[in-house]
A = this chain, B = another copy of it.
Amino acid sequence: MYEFIERINEAADVKKFKVEELDLLAEEIREALFNRLTKIGGHFGPNFGMVEAEIAMHYVFHSPVDQFVFDVSHQSYPHKILTGRKAGYIYDDHFFEDSGYTNPGESEHDLFNVGHTSTSISLASGLAKARDLKGEKRNVIAVIGDGSLSGGEAMEALNVAGSELNSNFIILVNDNEMAIAENHGGIYRNLAELRKTDGKAENNIFRAFGLDYMYVEKGNDIPALIEAFNRVKDIDHPIVVHIHTTKGLGYQPAVEHKEAWHWCMPFDRETGLPTVDFGDGEDYTSMTAKYIMDKAKKDKDFLVITPAMPMTGGLSEDLRKELGSQYIDVGIAEEQAVAMASGAARNGAKPLVITNTTFIQRTYDQISQDVCINGSAVTILLNYTSFAGLTDVTHLGIFGISAFSNIPNLQILAPSSKSEYLNMLDWALDQNEHPVIILIPGNAVTDREADRDYSNIGRFKVEQQGEKVAILALGDFYQMGESLAAAVKEKLGFEPTLINPRFASTIDTELLEQLKEKHSLIVTLEDGILDGGFGQKIDAYYSTSDVKVKNYGLEKKFYDRYDPAKLLEELGMTNEAMVDDIRELL
C-alpha cells in the first residue's frame, strides 16, 4: 500500500526517486495523512495543500544541513513522513510518537517546537545570521502561510530580512488564500493581485520590504516547484518564493470548506462526518455565540473583535455576517485586536476581544500599556483556559492567570458556572471603568445562581460557611472545591468554609481577615500554575500571620501532551490526597 513511503527511512531517500515517481509518492503521503487524521484528527487543510511543496523541498535541498523552519507547523506532517517519521502516519500504534507540531525532540530535521503563528521568518533569520557568523554554508528556508503574514512578528522579520540579512535566505510563502478562517487585511488584496498577474502586480508587498521575489503559480506541481527551488538554492541574498497552493487538496470537502477542514476531529472519509460523539449537553462555546448574538441585537455599541479564530467564540461564518459592522476580524494580529479595542472603548463602544489563552500572551504589552494604563473598559474573553483543554506544550492555557493577574487595573474574572459566566459577561461589557479578562470555564457546564453585579472589585463569595478550613476554589476548579468540602466533612467530621473567589487578580482582604477567626488553614485551588498566580496572593496575605495556606495548582513547567486526570493525581489533587494534607496541617 505504501510502496514509496516504505522506501523512505531518512530525508535523503526521497532524492533516489525519479521526478515522475514523486506524484505517486504524493498520493501515498495523502493516504498516510488520511490514515492518521481519520483516526486521531489533526491539522488537515494545511498538510494536504503542502504535500507537493514539501516533497520538492526535500528533493532539492539537503535537510538537516539545509534548514527548514515551518511557521506554526500546521503543515509539517508531509515533512515528518519524509524525515524518518512515517510510522506515526502509516502504523496506527505509532501515532502517538509524533506530536502535531515540529519538535526537535523527534528529529534533527525539526529546528523548533512551534505552535504559535508568524514566527518562522524571525527564527530562521537567526539561524541565517549565526550561519554567517560561523562561516557555514547552508540554505535557510522559512516556510510561512499567507494567513500568518498578518502577524506583527512576521512583518518585523520581513522588514529585517529585507535589508539586514545580505546572504542566503529563502522565505517560502505558501499562499492558499486562507488563514484558519478567511484572511483579513490589505496585504491579502496585494497577494490576490500577485496571483492574478503571475507575480507582476505593482506595489508588491515583498519588494516593498526590500526583498527579491519569485512567483510560482503551480504550487501543487512537483516539477514546477523543483525548478523554482533549484533556481533559489544557494542564492546569495534573501528572496521570497510565493507559491500558490490549494488548501485541502486531495479531499473535496476540505477544498470546499476550508475553514471547517483546517483542523479535524477523527472522521469518516466517505461522509466527512466526525466519528466522535460530542454528546448533546450544553457547551460554553455555543453558549458564548448565543450570548454574543443576543447582546449585539440589544446593544448597538457592542463590538466583537477577533484576532482570527472566530470559531473559538463559536462565531460561524453565518453569525459573523449577521453581526455585520458589530464584528471585525483583524486576522492573525493579536496586538492590533487588543489596542484597537482600547481605542474603541475610548470612543464609547463596548469591545469584546475573543481568543485562546495561549495566544493572548502576545499582547502582554498592549494589555498593560494600551488598555490598563488607560483604564479602557475592554473585555477580553479567553477560551482554552484550563489545564484539561489543549495539552500540547505550545498551546497550554495554564499560564494565563500568572501572566495577567499582576497587571494593575486589570480584573480577571473566573466564573464557576453558566449563570456566573453570562452575568460576568453582562457586567464587564456594560461597565466603563475596568479592563476585564473573563476565563471561559474548561469543565462541563453546570449552573448555580450567581450575582449580577461585580463592581465590588475583589469581593469573594462565601458559598458555604464552615470552620477550621476555608477552601478557596477558583473558577472551573470550584466544583473540585465543592467535592473536597464534602470529602472533608465526611472524612474529618467538620464542615469547612467554601469560597468562590470569582476574582483571580484581586483578593478580598476583608474576608481573608475575617477568616482568621475561625480558620487555621486556607486551601486554594486554581486551574493554572501556582507561580505568580492566585494562591500565592493568598500566601502573601497570610505570610506574617499564624494561618497556614496550602496551594493546589500546576507547577511552573512546560507540560506536554499529558493525561489531565493522571496529572491531577501526580499533583496530589485527588480528594483523598488533599484530605490527607488537610488532616496533617490541622
Q: Is A90 an interface residue (CB 8 A)?
A: no
Q: How far is the CA of A134 from the CA of B347 in the complex (A)?
A: 9
Q: Is A62 an interface residue (CB 8 A)?
A: no
B205→A208 contact, CB < 8 A? yes
Q: How far is the CA of A465 from the CA of B430 in the complex (A)?
A: 57
Q: Is A75 an interface residue (CB 8 A)?
A: no
Q: Is A561 an interface residue (CB 8 A)?
A: no
Nearest-neighbour CB distance to chain B for A382, whole angstroms, equals: 14
B158→A348 contact, CB < 8 A? no
The segment from A242-250, A370-378, A565-573 found at the interface with B is A370-378
A340→B129 contact, CB < 8 A? yes
Chain A 321-363 per-residue mask, 1 if CB under 8 angstroms from chain B, else 0: 0000110111101011001111111111101000000010110
A119→B330 contact, CB < 8 A? no
Q: List 17 A-B contacts (CB under 8 A).
A: A112-B342, A112-B346, A126-B343, A129-B328, A130-B345, A130-B349, A133-B325, A155-B159, A157-B340, A362-B364, A406-B533, A408-B557, A536-B536, A536-B540, A542-B543, A543-B543, A543-B551
Task: Report chain B residues within 8 Å CB of A153.
Answer: 152, 335-336, 339, 366
Chain A 135-179 per-residue mask, 1 if CB under 8 angstroms from chain B, else 0: 010000000000000111111111111111000000000000000
B163→A341 contact, CB < 8 A? no
Q: How far is the CA of A35 from the CA of B277 in the complex (A)?
A: 73
Q: How far is the CA of A205 from the CA of B209 in the complex (A)?
A: 7
Give the size range of A's interface with the partner. Answer: 35 or more
Nearest-neighbour CB distance to chain B for A551, whole angstroms, equals: 6
Task: Tell me which residues from 296 to 321 in chain A have a Cβ below 8 Å from any Cβ of chain B.
Answer: 300-301, 303
Q: How far is the CA of A289 from the CA of B533 in the complex (A)?
A: 37
Q: How far is the CA of A532 from the CA of B528 in the complex (A)?
A: 13
Q: How far is the CA of A558 from the CA of B303 in the complex (A)?
A: 28
The segment from A181-189, A228-236, A444-452, A488-496 found at the interface with B is A181-189
Q: How far is the CA of A408 from the CA of B393 in the complex (A)?
A: 11
The segment from A254-262, A397-405, A413-421, A474-482 found at the interface with B is A397-405
A368→B373 contact, CB < 8 A? no
Q: Is A265 an interface residue (CB 8 A)?
A: no
Task: Report chain B residues within 8 Å CB of A125.
Answer: 336, 340, 343
B210→A370 contact, CB < 8 A? no
A127→B344 contact, CB < 8 A? yes
Task: Report chain B residues within 8 Å CB of A189.
Answer: 162-163, 210
Q: Is A273 an interface residue (CB 8 A)?
A: no
Of chain B, the residue at the smallest CB distance from A335 is B153
Q: Is A549 an interface residue (CB 8 A)?
A: yes
Of chain B, the residue at the smallest CB distance from A69 is B343
Task: Report chain B residues within 8 Å CB of A163.
Answer: 184-186, 188-189
Q: A339-B126, A558-B373 are contacts. A185–B159 as well, Cβ < 8 Å?
A: yes
Q: How far is the CA of A336 from the CA of B340 in the complex (A)?
A: 22
Q: How far is the CA of A359 from the CA of B369 in the complex (A)?
A: 10
> Copy number of this protein in the oligomer?
2
Q: How far is the CA of A328 from the CA of B188 in the complex (A)?
A: 30
Q: How far is the CA of A30 from the CA of B437 in the complex (A)?
A: 44
The residue that A160 contacts in the complex, of B115, B133, B185, with Cβ under 8 A, is: B185
Nearest-neighbour CB distance to chain B for A330, whole angstroms, equals: 5
Q: Using A126-B339, A136-B347, A372-B558 as known contacts, list a sample of 4 further A-B pairs with CB atoms less than 8 Å apart, ordered by residue number in A.
A: A116-B365, A130-B303, A185-B209, A403-B403
B532→A543 contact, CB < 8 A? no
Of chain B, the residue at the smallest CB distance from A116 is B369
Q: Is A131 an interface residue (CB 8 A)?
A: yes
Q: Is A585 an interface residue (CB 8 A)?
A: yes
Among A361, A532, A545, A585, the most chain B Cβ lie within 10 Å of the Cβ of: A532
B369→A115 contact, CB < 8 A? yes
Q: How far is the CA of A557 from the CA of B119 in the complex (A)?
A: 32
Task: Report chain B residues within 8 Å CB of A127.
Answer: 343-344, 346-347
